Amino acid sequence: MRFQLWRAKNGIESTGGFGILMAVTESGGSMADFTNRYSDNVPGKFYVDDQCIDCDLCRETAPDNFTRNEDGGYSFVYKQPTSADEEALCKEAMEGCPVEAIGPDGAQVGIAAPTQPSPQPQT
Ligand code: SF4
């Protein structure tokens, strides 16, 4: 389904050359994993992990937040969203990513649980 949406958005009529992509997509993929994120991502809510297949959808959808690592051939988040509009576009990019390589949990991962204050001695 996601692949069909991506193809429609990008005006792709033929499936030639996309066999591998379709196989990945039809297997259901897996959710982005914060531990596998590219180091280029700026810290924050959204990130791209190493499942990215460099399809360009996120860069077209949210160009103010996603860009391409030219040497590596993948996308990463170069700026976290700073407005409701940017947030919505990042979410749209995440939902449209054909291999679920975009994660939304970067702001929560790694934050330690608050510690309880030590009991104070009675005087
Ligand atoms: S993160 Fe997803 S949408 Fe963006 S280029 Fe990679 S595969 Fe495409």
- Residue 10 and residue 64 in contact, taking contact as beta carbons nearer than 8 Å: no
Q: pLDDT class for 119, splitting at 50, 70, 90?
A: low
Using the atom order of ligand 1, give the atom closest to the CA of residue 52: 6
- Ordered domains of the chain (ranges, CATH): 2-9+31-103 (3.30.70.20)
pLDDT digits (tens, 9 = 90+) for 1-54: 455 445 455 554 444 444 444 434 444 456 999 999 999 999 999 999 999 999
State if residue 90 touches ligand 1 by the CB under 6 angstroms criterion: no
Q: How far apart are CA 62 and CA 107, in angstroms?
A: 19
* DSSP secondary structure, 85-118, as one string: HHHHHHHHHHHH-TT--EES-TTTTTPPPPPPPP
Query: What pTM did the predictor assign?
Result: 0.72
State if residue 77 touches ligand 1 by the CB under 6 angstroms criterion: no
